[in-house]
Structure 1
């Protein structure tokens, strides 16, 4: 089992994004469970042990904000980072109200994701 402080869960329906995130995080020594959608992430046996979750805002069957609401309904308060193609002020406001720590617009062009994760995981 992965160490809770070093485990990040990802839910994104884009295989390329999952692969790229998993590769980048593993380079930082972070354990990753990458899931193709919300149902997989919710079924992950280590969801209560994770240090952070990275969610895509738009996935089939359930968006990232609804997935986060379902995690919160299970008393899971892990920090969340939301990835989106359209980071409008309204979306940022809804995400913030849902407890999202950071909203990042794709494509990810800088180190904001890694920098934020390292702070959340206590490595920075």
Structure 2
């Protein structure tokens, strides 16, 4: 076990996080932030390739933007749930509203974070959800 994993307190492989964000700068920032904290993160710019990745790897946590080209994060989570994935999900959006919050909660998101993201809030949430949240059924 490497030092980073040991420092983070994970007994085996670090939690896998699937990021879906269409803004290249935000996507890269999230990827670097999560990998720097010891998570096994992968990032995609659109829902379709991310759904294919999720079908192959069953991530421990999903972070998805609300507005995506050709769809949205709520529809993406609905598709994952229909395929049997039960892991925790975080919706990120620059367009937060009470209505969006209610839709996200109804869809099964554990948390909604507004952009610009506060790094510590995101890391705390992912850490909490991957340690205490419902693990993926395939794990």
Give the structure-2-normalised TM-score.
Answer: 0.81
RMSD, aligned CA:
1.6
Q: 2 CA distance for matches of 1:110 and 1:75?
A: 30
User: Are residues 91 and 115 of structure 1, via their aligned partners in 2, closer, same or farther at CA, if it must alter by over 3 Å?
Assistant: same
Query: Unaligned 5+ residue runs, structure 2?
Result: 1-12, 133-139
Change (3 A) 1:110 1:7: closer
Is residue 92–residue 113 contact of structure 2 (8 Å, CA) maintained in 1? yes
Q: Does 1:61 find its partner at 2:70? A: yes
Is structure 2 residue 118 aligned with structure 1 residue 109?
Answer: yes
Within the candidate set 70, 73, 88, 2:97 is matched to 88
Post-superposition CA distance 1:9-38 (Å, at most 9, x none): 011111111100011101110011100110
**Structure 1 residues 27-46: aligned runs within 5 Å:** 27-44=36-53, 45-46=56-57
The runs of at least 4 aligned residues of structure 1 exceeding 6 Å deviation read none
CA-CA distance at 1:6 after TM superposition = 1.0
- Say which one has the larger Rg: 2
C-alpha distance in 1, partners of 2:73/2:118?
Answer: 21
Cα offset for 1:106? 0.6
> Can you list the C-alpha shifts for 1:78-114, whole angstroms capped at 9, x where unaligned?
1100010111011001100101011011111352111
For structure 1, the 5+ residue unaligned runs are none
